[in-house]
Structures are given as C-alpha cells and as structure tokens.
Amino acid sequence: MPIQWVQIAINKALKVETPQYNKKKFEKAASFASTQTKNYKDFLPIIKKAFLEAGVVLIDLTSRQLKLRQESLMNGVKSL
C-alpha cells in the first residue's frame, strides 16, 4: 500500500501548476512552517500556499482518500 500512496501523491502533484523551484523561497517556507505547528485550523492551507509559491507541491492524503482509492482498485479487480 505505501507505494500506492506515493503514486496517488505523484498523480495529484502533476495536476498542479507551479512556478519553477526556488530554493531560497522553499527554505523560507519550511522555516515558516515550523512556526505554524500550533495553528491547527489553518496550518495545512497556509503551508501548502507557501510551499507552492516556492515551486513545491505539498500533497495531503487523508486516510479516507486512501481507503476510497483502495476500494476503487479492489472493485476494478473484481470486475475483471
């Protein structure tokens, strides 16, 4: 299953338009992320935006998304 998670994340990331990777902006975004760990409500959207501006796509995969994907794959196997 972990390999499937990676493939799902890759597929999602490939659909996102990003500027060219900027190491300095990413380092700044990563440092900023470490200051936001107690900002539970807005943490993920803020960090995703900061990383995206640096040319990095942050993909979050919830267990529900993974379960639905796994069920979809199993249904495909059953129908063969």
CA 57 to chain centre: 6
This model's pTM is above 0.75: no
Measured at the alpha carbon of residue 62, what is the angle toward residues 50 and 23, in degrees to the nearest 5? 25
| pLDDT tens sequence across 23-43 | 999 999 999 999 988 888 888
Average pLDDT, the chain: 82
At residue 73 the predicted structure's pLDDT band, cuts being 50, 70 and 90, is low
CA of residue 21 relative to chain centroid, distance:
16
